[in-house]
Amino acid sequence: MMANFRTTRPEFGNVEAYARRHRRIAPVLGTTIQLSLQQAERANPSGSLKRLVDGSAFNVELLSTIVPSLRGLIWEFRRSAVAAGFELITVADDIEVILLTEEDSGSPFELEGRLRGIAARIVVALEYGVSPYSSAVVAESST
């Protein structure tokens, strides 16, 4: 089971940092999807996004410290307002969490499925990949 978990765990590229609402973008490796994090519209500014500097490495463990309540939230699928494509969005811990993909030959139904699949992989990784128990199991299974 742990081998399956490792292969389905989402991996991210390096962070691109922007000033507007401390927006941070990291590509989901092996896909055309990007993860975007930014301060929610009326949220009080926090330093959690500021510590992600341009070019820094990004992973699920870091994501769990920025949006610890991301597990189990409702995601909304919609046409993107900022890019030619579609996005899946939710708000957790005063942070907008957006999965974005550019429009391609796929139908909106197919694109929504891809985005929801990545969201599910992230949630599963947060639920099972960050806890002390899962770290012990991974360490145990690799010996």
pLDDT, tens digit, 9 for 90 and up, residues 44-94: 777 789 889 999 999 999 999 999 999 878 999 999 887 788 999 999 999
Cα(13)–Cα(58) distance, integer angstroms: 7
Q: What is the dihedral of CA 112, 129, 65, 74, to 10 degrees?
A: 30
Predicted confidence at residue 64, as pLDDT, reads: 93
